Structure 1
Amino acid sequence: MTTQNRPQRIQINLDLSPELYETINNLVQQINGDNTEVFLKAIALLEVVVEAKLKGKHLWITDDKQNLETEIIGI
């Protein structure tokens, strides 16, 4: 693959609390992925939530019978 065909990447550095770093590492293990995958999935989920909120919709967690268990607020 030539340099022209490679997708452009930007590297960032983050200062994380030990607790957040541990949370990220736990998620990495749970999804059998890596840090990048955790961040990509988190950003994709946040994007869905923000778009829904802008449309006046809500995000809920339901059980397998569609009973409301939790409403996600504050995002």
Structure 2
Amino acid sequence: MTPQGKTERIQINLDLSPELYETLNNLAQHINGDNAEVLLKAIALLEVAVEAKQKGKHIWIVDDNQNIETEIIGI
């Protein structure tokens, strides 16, 4: 942390297709956040998925009755 108590930030530039940029903006609206927050949450979710895979675990989307609807693969 810097002396003012703010976290150090590094700025990056991304080249996105118009479709991906639209998806990013739509997700930001859905979470009432901004594009940076979408990317931070996406990276955190991917980190959890990668760590789970390394431990031989799986990630699923389940319904209210815990029935598996989708298995997340390819991570």
TM over 0.5: yes
CA distance in 2, matches of 1:28, 1:8: 23
4+ aligned runs moved over 6 Å, structure 1: none
Q: 1:42 aligned to 2:3?
A: no
Q: Give the TM-score, by structure 2 length.
A: 0.92
CA positional deviation for 1:15: 0.2
Q: Give the TM-score, by structure 1 length.
A: 0.92
CA positional deviation for 1:7: 2.0
CA positional deviation for 1:8: 1.4
- Identity across matched positions, percent: 78
How do residues 9-48 of structure 1 correspond to structure 2 at under 5 angstroms?
Answer: 9-48=9-48
For 1:9, what is the secondary structure of its paired residue?
A: coil
**Structure 1 vs Structure 2 CA RMSD:** 1.0
Which is helix-richer, 1 or 2? 1
Mark the runs of 5 or more structure 1 residues left unpaired by the alignment.
Answer: none
